[in-house]
A and B are shown apart, each in its own frame.
Chain A
Amino acid sequence: MSKFLHALGFTGSITMAIAAAIALPIRHVGIRTSATAEAASTDSPLTLKSVNIELPTSERSFPPGPGADAINNNCLVCHSAGMVLNQPAMSETAWADEVHKMVKVYKAPVSDQDAATIIAYLTKLKGIGSPPP
C-alpha cells in the first residue's frame, strides 16, 4: 500500500489559495477572422502567469445501508460519490463489471470480499427495476 495514495495532501477548502490571474480579458470579438493554422502573426503574444489553486472536495458519502462502509472506505479514495450516484439503474452483471474494472484495470486495492459487498450494495441501490433516487 506504500505506492498508494500520493494524493493524500490533495484536499482543501473551496477557496483559491492565490489569485489565479488571467493575464488578459477574454477577447472573443475581433480577434483575427482568418481561421487558418498558417502564418504566425506579429502582435505581442500572451503573457502567461503562474497559477496556484485549490480544488474543492466533496463531502458526499454513499447513502446508508448494508455495505455502505465498504463502498465509502474503498471507492472515495480515488473518486467522489457523485458520478456513481448519477449512473442509471443497471443490472447486477453491469455493476459487477464496473467494480471489477476498478480493481483489475484501475488497480483499486479492494478485497474480494469488499468487492462482492460493493456490488450487492450498488445493485440494491441502483439495480434494474429500482427507482431512481
Chain B
Amino acid sequence: MAFQDRFLRPATRRGALKQLGAAGVALASGPAWGQTVTTLPLPGGPGERDLTDAFPEKGRMILQRTRPPMLETPFEVFDQGVFTPNDLFFVRWHWAVIPTDINVDSYSLSVHGHVAKPLTLSLKQIMSLPRTELAAVNQCSGNSRGYFQPRVAGGEWSNGAMGNAKWMGVRLKDVLDLAGVKPGAVRVRFAGGDDPVVADAPKFMKSLDIDHARDGEVLIAYGMNGAQMPLLNGFPIRLIVPGWYSTYWVKMLNSIEVLDGADDNFWMTTAYRIPDTPGANIRPGETGIPTVPINRMVPRSFITNLHEGATVRAGEDTPVRGIAFGGSTGVRAVDLSTDGGMSWKPAELGRDEGKYGFRQWSTSLRAPAGNLAVMVRCTNTDGLQQPVAPNWNPSGFMRNVIETTQLRAVKAS
C-alpha cells in the first residue's frame, strides 16, 4: 500500500478512510466527528478525557488540563502523514501566566550574560539572518507516562504528547556569534514569556552546554510546517533542540543568557532529572541512584492504522503501517514480530524527511484465525533498539518500550 505521504485535511479525511476501508483494513478508529469524550486505556484509570475545540488556533484536542494548558494529539492524527498539523500539535505549559497578546513589531529577544555585546533583537532582525529548515520530533519527556506501572504522578498522557514538524528559523549559533560569546562560557540558558502565578515560584528556564548551543543544529524557529506557529506552541519564536526532549524547546523565547558557570536553576537541578542508568530505568522504590538532567531522546515506533483490539481478515494480507523515530538520530530499521519477539520481519521505510523527524513505515501481515499480538521495534542508526521490557522511574520519563497491538483475525463470512 502506498504511503499516506501527505496530509488529509478534515474535509477529505472521511473519503480517504472510506477508500481504505474498502481495502478490507480494520481502521484505527479515532474519535468520531462531534464526539466530546475519549477514553485512554491507562492501566487502573481514570482514562476518560474531554475532547476540546476551545483553544485558539487549535483543533480538536484531548484535554489533559485547561490551565495551564496541556493538550494531547489524538493518536489517529499520526496515521495521516509524518508531519503533525500545527492545529493538532500537542501543547504543554508549566505556568499559567501566558502572554496572549503578541505584537510582532514590538516583540524582542534579549541575548545577554557572558557576551561581548548584549543584544536586543527584533523579530525582523532575527528573520533577516540566514534561514534554515529542519524536520524534528518534539516529544514531552513524560509522553506515555500514563502507561507506567506502578503509576506515577504527573501529566497522565497517552502516546500523543509528541509531534513532528518542519521548523524554519535561524541557527542559535548565528545569534550567539552576533553577541560574541566570551571565553569561559559554560552554559546557555533560555527563558520564555510564561510566568508563575505565584511570583517567587521558579521561573521556567532550561539550559544547554555551550558546545551544544553552538553546534549549528539548535535553532530559533519562527516557522512551523510553513506557517507561523500557534501561540500555544510558542509563537512567535521557540527553541528547537533536535533529538532532545521537548523540555528544552523553550516556547515564546525572549531571553538567551550565556553563563560562565553551571546553571543552578530549579528546572535543571531538581526537575526533569532522570536516573543515570541505561534507559533511565530503575526498580520501583529503588533509591540513592544518581540523577542527570534528561537529555537525548530514544527510539520509538507505533502502528498507526490498526488500533488495539482491531479485527483483520484471517488468511489475507493486511496492510500495516505506522511511524517511527530514532530519538537522537535517524531510523535504521523498523521490524515487526507476530510471535512474541522470537522472529522479526523488516518493514519498508518511507521517505526520509531528515534524521530527527518521524519516518513512516509499512508492511503487511497475514495471520490465521485467532488472536494476534503485533510488536513493532525501531532500531536507530546508532544501533540503539527499543527495549522489550518497559523502563520505570518515579517521574515517568522516557518510555520507549516495544509497543504491542492485540488484533483479532477472523475468517471472511
Contacts and interface: CB of A to CB of B under 8 A. Distances in A.
Given A22-B227, A86-B49, 20 more contacts: A4-B197, A26-B86, A29-B6, A35-B134, A40-B130, A46-B127, A46-B223, A48-B236, A50-B102, A50-B104, A51-B236, A55-B56, A56-B55, A57-B67, A79-B67, A80-B66, A83-B155, A89-B151, A97-B153, A106-B201
Interface string A106-125: 11110000000000000000
A24 B98 CA distance: 24
Interface string A74-104: 0001111011011111100010011000000
Chain B interface residue bracket vs A:
35 or more
Q: Is the interface of A mostly helix, strand, loop or mixed?
A: loop
Interface of A: 3-7, 10, 14, 16, 20, 22-29, 31-33, 35-41, 45-46, 48-58, 60, 77-80, 82-83, 85-90, 94, 97-98, 105-109, 132-133
Contacts of A53: 56-57, 100-101, 231
7 contacts: A3-B199, A4-B198, A26-B226, A27-B226, A36-B134, A51-B228, A83-B156
B314 interface: no
A50 B228 CA distance: 10
Contact of A51 (B7, B153, B235): B235
B325 interface: no
Given A35-B134, A105-B202, A106-B196, A82 B63 contact: yes
Nearest to B103: A50
Nearest to A29: B6
A46 B66 contact: no
B352 interface: yes
The 6 closest A-B pairs by CB, nearest first: A35-B354, A132-B45, A58-B66, A40-B130, A88-B151, A53-B56
Most chain B CB neighbours (cut-off 10 Å) among A4, A20, A48: A48
A51 to B, nearest CB: 5
Contacts of B85: 26, 28
Contacts of A105: 201-202, 266, 270
A14 B155 contact: no
Contacts of A82: 50, 63-66
Contacts, number: 207
Contacts of A55: 55-56, 67, 69, 98, 100
Contacts of B354: 35-36
B127 A45 contact: yes
A16 B69 CA distance: 16
B195 A35 contact: no
B42 interface: yes
Interface in B122-137: 123, 127, 130-135
A93 B199 CA distance: 28
Contacts of B100: 52-55
A50 B99 CA distance: 12
Interface stretch (B214-222, B361-369, B381-389, B402-410): B214-222
Interface in B18-73: 42, 44-46, 49-50, 52, 54-57, 63-70
A127 to B, nearest CB: 13
A13 to B, nearest CB: 10
A82 B46 CA distance: 11
Most chain A CB neighbours (cut-off 10 Å) among B54, B56, B63, B101: B56
B75 interface: no
Contacts of A60: 66
Contact of B56 (A16, A26, A88, A98): A16
B44 A89 contact: yes
B65 to A, nearest CB: 4
Interface string B232-261: 000110000010000000000000000000
Contacts of B166: 28, 31, 35
Contacts of B352: 35
Contact of A26 (B7, B68, B132, B356): B7
Contacts of A56: 52, 54-55, 66
Given A35-B354, A36-B134, A77-B197, A46 B168 contact: yes
A132 B44 contact: yes
Nearest to A132: B45
A133 B198 CA distance: 31
Contact of B102 (A25, A32, A41, A51): A51
Most chain B CB neighbours (cut-off 10 Å) among A14, A49, A51: A51
B96 A79 contact: yes
A88 B45 contact: yes
Given A36-B134, A94-B153, A28 B104 contact: no
